[in-house]
Structure formats: structure tokens, C-alpha cells
Amino acid sequence: MDGNVKKQTIRDIDVSGRRVLLRTDYNVQVEDGCVVDDLRLVESLPTLRALIQAGGHIAICSHRGRPRGAPADDLRNAPVAQHLASLLGSEVRSIESCIGPEARAAVEALPPGGVLLLENVRFHPEEEANDPGFARELAALADVFVNDAFGTAHRAHASIVGVPRHLPSVAGLLLEREVKFLERVTEHPEPPMGLVLGGAKVSDKIQILEHLLDRCDVVCVGGAAGSTFLAAQGIDVADSLVEASGIVPAQRILQATQRRGDFKLVLPRDVVVAFGTAEGGQVRTVPADRVPTGWRILDIGPATVYAFREALKGMRTVVWNGPMGLFEREPFDRGTMDVAFILADVEGTSVVGGGETAAAVRRAGVSERLSHISTGGGASLAMLQGHQLPGVEALLDAKPAAMGA
Ligand code: ADP
Ligand code: MG
């Protein structure tokens, strides 16, 4: 992310009477024809309502699941359109194509403020291949392009980076907000700053750590990432989930941070361990260096939660990515729920990234008390690792502010 280049948003353009191609991330699960978790739809409403109010003719383009370039009946967008209509309280038409004569006719038939949801764009292999001809066909549907699909902004796909080659392209309000918060914490965080890392994809998380380490005053590590750090210190974690390729980078980080007197790295002190994986198996809390043979770490313990809370006291910025354990299954959700409560108590900026971490925060019921919960797993991870998002780079640069503004 090039933090110095601001992008134009829907506030910078007039869509009245114009055809708008709006890219959203409606990659939601549908069961029995109903949307299971509508967060991504809800989060897109501010942009959608603004475009409706401004009198645009709106064609929404989105993907769902992994159809691998061919139509799949269980991945159609029609149930999403139905749910979106109920959220908006107005009609949302859906069609079974996203390019070609049917799509063009449907867009032409839209009244000002009318909304149409095009078919799953990934039914065409050209989408993920970023095929220029396909991008041109999508672009032909509209006069302007609005990208509000933050969750897909790290993908160089046709509907993300191809379309902006042909149309004036600006950010939607969700994408703007996501980038603003993730930039704030990665580029100019208010100090002191704390980072909480967990989750399973350890090498991903270590890249976040490597990018943000110099800006952090405190780093707390739990989850399988924590087990990997324990193993990197030579502690026997028995059958715990450890990413072998993460050991050497973890050792490098341990060494680098030992030399920083003003820095605190907090690793698990006690852990919740289980014998076997079957439900109803034995569960114990033990010191982190006493994991019995044949047992595995599935959560951080209460002494670790206490240490995290103490270490994060007074932080003005806290970033969290990765659950503290196997939070999908009780009783291994305790550590993750407690960390959600710690984040909720942060006085300053609290930002959560990562698909599972965001789900955990919502389950803890503290969403309202955090500054920002990212809707994009991979995209937020990329930003926390210091990468630029191709979908953001493709948008029009903001005009330089007027003198004295
Ligand atoms: P996110 O999606 O928030 O970026 P990850 O995908 O990296 O997070 O990891 C989330 C998964 O990690 C969760 O499904 C959780 O059950 C699992 N997990 C976390 N800690 C452990 C652990 N100690 N042992 C096994 N699984 C774990
Ligand atoms: Mg995940």
C-alpha cells in the first residue's frame, strides 16, 4: 500500500444519470437459499445507498465461492440479490449473466437509483486470468467503476484491475474505510502500539511481525503461532500444531527483540492442552513448558491472558490477527474470547484483521467497541504485511487538495 497516494472516492464523482459498475465482495455462504452471514452485504450498504441517492444506474458485480471458471447452480448470485433487497427495502434485480447482450439490456432498463446484481463473475475463467477482453466487456456495461470489494482488492483479477483501465474508477466507502484504518496502524500508528498474533498460518503471521516489529512496543503471541515460538525456544510442545518452516524466522525474531530493551514479547505462559482430538477428551491447563507427551496445545491459559492484558495496558494502538486457539470448539474458545474483551477495552485505535479473528470478535459480542474489524481476510493480511493492494492502486489518484484547504 502506498500510503502517500490517496485515491478518489464516490464523493469525488457525480453518478447522477450515469451507469455505475459497482464491484463488491459478496462472497457469502448460502444455505437452503438463504445468506448465512450477511456482514459483507450490510457493510456495503453505505456505498450502495449513496449511489442510489445520487441517481446512478447501478450494476453490481461480485464473486462467490470457487466455481473454477464454470457456472455452478449452488454459487449463483440470485439468493444474494434477494437478501440485499430485504436489507435495502427496495428491488434488486438479478440476472444469470455478467457480460453480453442480456447484461447490457438489463443495465439499460434500470431506472435512476435502480440496482441490478450481475451473475457470479467467477463463472468465467477470464475473471481470475485477468483477461483484457473480458475486462473490456465488463467495463462496457458502465460509465464509471466503483470498487468497494476490499476483500478482493489483493487479487489482480479482471473485475478488480482490468476494468479500471477502461473507466474512471474510484473507491467505495467500505474500501476507503478499510484502507484508512489499516494504513493508520501500519504506517502512522499512535504510539505505544501493541500487536496480538495467533492463528494457524504461522508463516503469514510472522511476515506481519517482521513488517510491524519496529513500530511495536508489545507483541503478544498465542494460537499455533505461539506454539511455534515456544518450539523455537527449544520447548517441547508435544503434539501441538507447529509450522516447521516458522521455527527459524521465529528464532530470528526472538534474537532481534532480545536486543531491544524497550520492547516486550509475551509468549504463552500457561496453555490449555487436550489429549487426542476427539470431542469429550481430557482437557488440562499446564505451564507452557510442561505439555505432557501425546497432548496438544489448543488454547492459551488464564495466566497468559492476564500477562497479555497487563502488557497491553496503556497501548494507544492495538492490532490483532489470529485466534488464540481452537476457538470454534468449547472450551478452547476462552483465550480468544478474553483477548476480544481486552481489545474492546483499548483506549485508542483497535483493529482486527483475519477471517476467523473477525468471526471470533463478533462471537464475543464486542464488535461495536472496536475501531475497525476488517471484512477482508487476505487483503487485510496483505496490508499488515506491508504489501500494496493492486485493486487500490488501480483507482484514480485523489486530486491535490486546494491551497489552504
Ligand atoms: P485468521 O483467519 O484470523 O487470519 P488463521 O486462518 O491464521 O486466522 O487461523 C485460524 C484458525 O487457527 C482457527 O480455525 C483456529 O481454530 C486455529 N487455531 C488457532 N490456534 C490453534 C491451535 N493452538 N491449535 C490448532 N488450531 C489453532
Ligand atoms: Mg483464516
For the segment 80-85, the average pLDDT, to the nearest whole number, is 98
In the reported structure, the alpha carbon of residue 323 is separated from the centroid of ligand 2 by a whole-number distance in angstroms of 9
List, for residues 142-200, the tens digit of each pLDDT value. 999 999 999 999 999 999 999 999 999 999 999 999 999 999 999 999 999 999 999 99
Q: How is 238-274 classified by DSSP, letter by letter?
A: TT----GGGHHHHHHHHHHHHT-TT-EEE--SEEEEE
Residue 1 has pLDDT above 80, yes or no: no
Question: How far from the centroid of its chain's Cα atoms is residue 275's Cα?
Answer: 33
Q: Can you tell me which atom of ligand 1 is nearest the CA of 223?
A: 20
For the segment 96-104, the average pLDDT, to the nearest whole number, is 97
Q: Is any ligand 1 atom within 6 A of the Cβ of residue 356? A: yes
Residues tagged active-site: 40, 201, 355, 378
> Cell 448465512 appears where?
36
In the reported structure, the alpha carbon of residue 327 is separated from the centroid of ligand 1 by a whole-number distance in angstroms of 8
Q: Is any ligand 1 atom within 6 A of the Cβ of residue 333? A: no
Residue 278 has pLDDT above 70, yes or no: no
C-alpha 38/C-alpha 78 separation (Å) is 14
Higher-confidence position of 1 and 339: 339
pTM of the full structure: 0.91
What's the first-to-final CA gap in the chain, in angstroms? 25
Ligand nearest to the CA of 295: 1
For the segment 82-93, the average pLDDT, to the nearest whole number, is 97
Ligand nearest to the CA of 198: 1
Q: Is any ligand 1 atom within 6 A of the Cβ of residue 201? A: yes
Looking only at the bridges linking them, the beta strands covering 193-197 and 317-321 are parallel
Q: Is any ligand 1 atom within 6 A of the Cβ of residue 328? A: yes
